[in-house]
Amino acid sequence: MTVTGMSMASGPRCSTCTTVSIRTRDERRDASAEWGTITFQPPRPGGPVRPARLVLALVLALAGLVWLGQGLGFIPGSFMTGSLFWAVVGAGLVVLAVIIVAAERRRMA
């Protein structure tokens, strides 16, 4: 079996990618044989974190809206009802959620 590939010295297509092509000696003789190509790419920065940040923003926005509603007296039945403190904290959470979503949309673009 022979392993061929591009070395860093020969200038790969991307500086962080490595491509390895593998074929056996018999396959090299057979012109119709297909090459098996394996491309290794490092994960994109922040790849799996994006959905987690959006879920965090959703949770913060929902909690913020509930606290804002309780603080303003729209949702009764809690010690938080009618308290300006909880209205301010809730509004702050909603603003934080909007900032997180805006930052993620900017990153995806």
Q: Are 86 and 71 in contact (CB under 8 A)?
A: yes
- 22-30 own/partner pairs: CB under 8 Å, 24+ apart: 25/1, 28/2
Nearest to 18 by CA among 32, 31, 37: 37
Residue 106 is predicted with a pLDDT of: 82
pLDDT of residue 7: 47
pLDDT at 105: 83
User: What gap in Å lies between CA 80 and CA 70, rounded to an integer?
Assistant: 6
Domains of the chain by residue range: 2-40, 49-108
Higher pLDDT, 30 or 102: 102
- Residue 107, Cβ neighbours under 10 Å: how many? 12
- pLDDT recorded at residue 104: 87
Weakest-pLDDT range from 36-40, 90-94, 101-105: 36-40
**39-80: pLDDT as tens digits:** 656 656 655 557 888 999 999 999 999 999 999 999 999 999
**13-17, 56-60, 92-96: least confidently modelled range:** 13-17
pLDDT tops 60 at residue 8: no
* 98 has a pLDDT exceeding 80: yes
